[in-house]
Amino acid sequence: MSDQTFNSKLTVFMLVKTSPEWLALSIDERFARLREVFEPILRRHADSVKLRFYDAEFYTTRITDLWVWEASDHHAYECVVEALRETAFWDRWFAIVEIIPAVENAYATHYGRAPLAA
């Protein structure tokens, strides 16, 4: 998917924690599960949802990973979540600790101002 044609309207920070069952799998088995289960969902929604993975286990004990979802709209994000909930990734291999939806620069946009940039 090209970043040039993707217009994110919603960003969702999903804080997750790996389960002992996931960690008991070998590295090869984990990547196989990602390819078999997770990747088809991402491909099916690639025109409207993007995902970035961040590792956090070396900085906090509350979560192990942060999944950052960017979606073209709320419905697109909801469709991905519904698909994930039907898999072992949701609350079996990963505990969904917290979901934080956000809109980038909503404050500036609301007041018709240019967003701050660094």
pTM of the model: 0.86
How many Cβ atoms from other residues are within 10 Å of residue 74's Cβ?
12
Sequence ranges of the domains in the chain? 10-104
Over 80: is that where the pLDDT of 5 sits? no
Minimal CA–CA distance to 7: which of 84, 89, 104? 104
Contacting residues for 42 by C-beta, under 8 A, at least 6 apart: 49, 51, 80
Lowest mean pLDDT among 4-18, 53-67, 96-110: 4-18
Largest CA distance in the chain: 51
10-104 has which fold? Alpha-Beta Plaits (3.30.70)
In this prediction, residue 107 carries a pLDDT of: 86
Give the number of C-alpha atoms closer than 13 A to the C-alpha of residue 58, restricted to the C-beta side: 2
Minimal CA–CA distance to 69: which of 47, 101, 39? 101
pLDDT of 47-83, one tens digit each? Answer: 999 999 999 999 999 999 999 999 999 999 999 999 9
For 15, phi and psi rounded to 5 degrees?
-90, 120
